[in-house]
Every structure is written in C-alpha cells, then in structure tokens.
Amino acid sequence: MRFIRYGKYTGEPADSIDLEELIKRLGDFFLQSGFESQYYGVSQMDPERSMEALREAILRALQEGDLLPENAMSEELRKMLQDPAALNSQAVKDLLDKITERLANEGFINPQQPPQVTPPPQTSARGQLGQPQDRQTEARFEITDKTIDFLGFKTLQDLLGSLGRSSFGRHDTRDLSTGVESGGVSRHYEFGDTLNMDISATLFNAVRREGAKVPIEMNYSDLMVHQCEYQSSCATVVLLDCSHSMILYGEDRFTPAKRVAMALSHLIRTQYPGDTLSLVLFHDSAEEVPLSELARVQVGPYYTNTREGLRMAQRILLRQKKDMRQIVMITDGKPSALTLEDGRIYKNAFGLDPFVVGQTLEEVNKCKRAGILINTFMLASDYSLVHFVQKITEMCRGKAYFTTPYTLGQYLLMDYMSRKTKQIH
C-alpha cells in the first residue's frame, strides 16, 4: 500500500523578508542622483534602473543585514549568500527573482520588458543573408508612487525621531479669531464673525443692562462670541540646486536633499493639509518639477542660475492665496549663471562674479517687496559664500543654516514646524 508523508510547510525564504524594511535599505539605490555614475560609468541623466542592478542591490542588502531570519534559510543558502560569487549560484538567482517578483506584486516597482527586435529573414532571392547581430537589451524597472511615498514617510519618521517628541498641529499665531474651538477670552460680536456664541457672557450683558427679569431682552451690543487661535496657511517652494557640484568633491549632497524634500512633502500632506508645497530645480536655468517625479531626478553638468530659480519660485508663490509665502533654498554653491534678456545664458564659475551677484540680489529684493520669505540651507562651508548668504537673509528677514547633508533634514524640519506667523507681523 502506498503512503504519502506530509510535513510542515515552512515557506520559501523570499516570503519571510519584510519588504518595507528591504525598501528602506534600498532607499539610496532608488534615489541615486548620479553620484555613482562618476565612478561606474553609468549615464548621469538616465533615470531608469536595470533589473540586474536591482538584484545586485538586493543581494548586498541580504549580505549586509538580517533581512532573512535564521530559521528561514538553510546553512547551504547562508554560505552561498556570503560567497563573493553568489550571483553565479542558481539558488541565489532564484531567491533574488522571487524577491523582485514580490516587490512587483506588492506594487513597489513596475518592471518593464526589454524591447522586442524582430530578426530579418535569413534568405533572400539573391542568396543567403548573414547572421544578424543580437541587440543588447536589458529589462528595466521604475519605482512606483507607493515606494516614493513610503520612503518619504520613513525619512520623516527618522528625522522626527532625532528631533524628539513633537506634537503636530497647524501653524499657530498671536492673532485671535472667532471659530469653533475656543482659545481666548470672549469679545463682542462683529459682523462677519463665526457665530460661536458665548451664551453666559451674552446673558450676563443683557441682565446687567436691563436687570434680572423675565423675559430677558437682548440687544445687538450684548452678543459675545468665543475666540480661538487663528491658524494660518503657508505656501512653500523648495528651491533645489541640481548643479554638478552637488555630487562633486567625494560627497553626494543631492540624494539627502531629495530625501528631505520628500519628507517635507509627506509632513505637509498629513499634518498641514492647508499648506502647499512646490518644487523648483535650478541649474543653467530653472524648471518646476512635480513632487511625484522628485525621486527620479538626477544632477547634471550644470552651472548655478540662482536668479532664475528665484524668478520661477516667485511666479508660483504669487499665484497662491496664502497667509504666508516662503522659499526654502537648498544649495551648496555660489551663483554662477544668469539668463540674459535675449535668452542667452551668461556663465562664470570663477569666484563671485559681481554682475551675477548683483542681479541675483536684485531678484532677492523683489521677493522682499512681494512679502516672500527666503530661508537658505547652505551645504558648503566656503567662507567666501557666507557674506553672500547672510546678505540674502538680511534682505528678506529670513534665516541661514550652514549645515551638512547629514543634518540638513533636522534643521529644515525644525525650522518648518517651529515657524510661526509672527514672522510677517
């Protein structure tokens, strides 16, 4: 008689991996800004990623961390993963394929098939044709909005953890207005106020005027309303420098800046729904980029046209009907380019060009006249730039932070959350 022995199903090793933890560890790979391309020869302006590069990144994450539980893999697989030639193992290849398949099924990546090339016919009326050369094609993928949103949330979570416990709300001010939540003493009703009546104070006014009698006769002057703290809204433009210097000198400054912008976007969307956030990249010129495309942006061989970035930021902010309007400028270099009236670009990367600096400060002065605040986050410590940045902050009553890529997020979020409307009084 034939018997079938059943055992406990332990699952595949790929099923035991926490995909969210994996995405967090692959954050630098997903958000790479062209820094590695200097050394590995990858095109700086190619936002696509190859599936083979993704498998290699997953393998590095498996080798460096504890993504795979001890009871989820055999001793043989553990040794294979630590082998420098692990990619040559069929078992490791199968594991990586299953992990990438899970990432696609969960909506973290969007695989793209390589283009299909139809070979020419092998024969013709005049004889045999030569063998066609194989075209080198490679499967690629794109990260989805789900991954971008998750990375923004994790970055925000990490930054807030470093800042300590914080209670969130909207931007409180010194002004008092009528509303639903009372936050101050009552005052007389004025036309246009929210009719949030202070019944006790209203009746007291009527009794004090007419005496204690029934019925109580009330006049318009007796009406009292509760006051609540006035909560303002803010329009913010993140002005992000994407000139080539952001990845030079052995340091990637652009990827941390992208992470902070994503975290700020998540913070505003979840905690300050009345606020708006826009993104402007400035290089030889300037361009507005949807926040959904931020993770795919890379630096290029560009100069720094700060004035053009300020111009575009002003146009965006002047369309916003908000109580506060501000520019958050993240840069690491001096202004080195200008867009002339005829459309040509004037460039000078040697020192602080007086013509470039003068035109840039004139644009800063226009921001001041429009009531737009400029807060500058400088990722460089060049002494010659200190005076220039201080001049900007002095003209616009803003603030300057001389920081590093590692502390940028803490300073920027602290500034945003602690900023009050008192700056516009």
H/E/C letters for each residue in 193-219?
Answer: CCCCECHHHHHHHHHHHHCCCCCCCCC
What is the model's pLDDT at position 228? 63
71-95: per-residue pLDDT in tens? Answer: 667 777 777 777 777 787 888 888 8
165-198: per-residue pLDDT in tens? Answer: 443 444 444 444 444 344 557 878 887 676 778 8
Q: Which residue has the higher pLDDT, 29 or 118?
A: 29
Give CA–CA dist 335/357, Å, rounded: 7
What is the model's pLDDT at position 389? 83
With tokens 């720094």, the residue in question is 304
As a whole number of Å, the end-to-end CA separation of the chain is 92
% of the chain surpassing 70 pLDDT: 75
114, 301, 347 from 340: Cα distances, Å = 43, 20, 10
Tokens in use for 25? Answer: 């560890």
164, 197, 216, 250 from 190: Cα distances, Å = 42, 12, 22, 62
What is the model's pLDDT at position 420? 40
What is the model's pLDDT at position 179? 42
Greatest mean pLDDT among 4-18, 39-53, 196-210 lies in 196-210
Most distant CA atoms of the chain, gap in Å = 118
Give CA–CA dist 96/14, Å, rounded: 8
Total count of residues recorded for the chain: 425
Sign of torsion, CA 281 286 289 291? positive
Query: What pLDDT band is residue 280 in, cutting at 50, 70 and 90?
Result: very high
What does the radius of gyration of the chain's CA atoms come to, in whole angstroms? 30
Tell me which H or E stretch contains 175: strand 171-177
Tokens in use for 178? Answer: 């009528």
What is the model's pLDDT at position 268? 82
Say which residues have a Cβ less than 8 Å from residue 110's Cβ, sequence separation at least 6.
Answer: 104, 141, 142, 143, 144
What is the model's pLDDT at position 72? 67
* Three-point CA angle 247, 250, 256, nearest 5°: 50
What is the model's pLDDT at position 6? 62
Task: Flag whether pLDDT at 51 surpasses 70.
Answer: yes
169, 219, 272, 329, 332 from 268: Cα distances, Å = 11, 44, 5, 17, 25
Average pLDDT of the residues in 247-256: 79
Give CA–CA dist 149/157, Å, rounded: 12
51, 76, 237, 289 from 141: Cα distances, Å = 6, 31, 30, 21
Of 119-123, 193-197, 352-356, the least confident: 119-123
Q: What average pLDDT does the chain have?
A: 76
What is the model's pLDDT at position 170? 44
What is the model's pLDDT at position 211? 83
Average pLDDT of the residues in 353-375: 91
Query: What pLDDT band is residue 69 in, cutting at 50, 70 and 90?
Result: confident
What is the model's pLDDT at position 288? 94
Question: Coil, helix or strand for 233?
Answer: coil
Q: Which residue has the higher pLDDT, 381 or 365?
A: 365
Say which residues have a Cβ less than 8 Å from residue 276's Cβ, sequence separation at least 6.
Answer: 233, 234, 235, 236, 268, 320, 322
Query: What pLDDT band is residue 1 in, cutting at 50, 70 and 90?
Result: low
Query: What pLDDT band is residue 55 in, cutting at 50, 70 and 90?
Result: confident
Query: What pLDDT band is residue 314 in, cutting at 50, 70 and 90?
Result: very high
Tokens in use for 86? Answer: 């692990």
pTM of the model: 0.66
CB atoms within 10 A of CB 404: 14
Task: Flag whether pLDDT at 307 surpasses 90.
Answer: yes
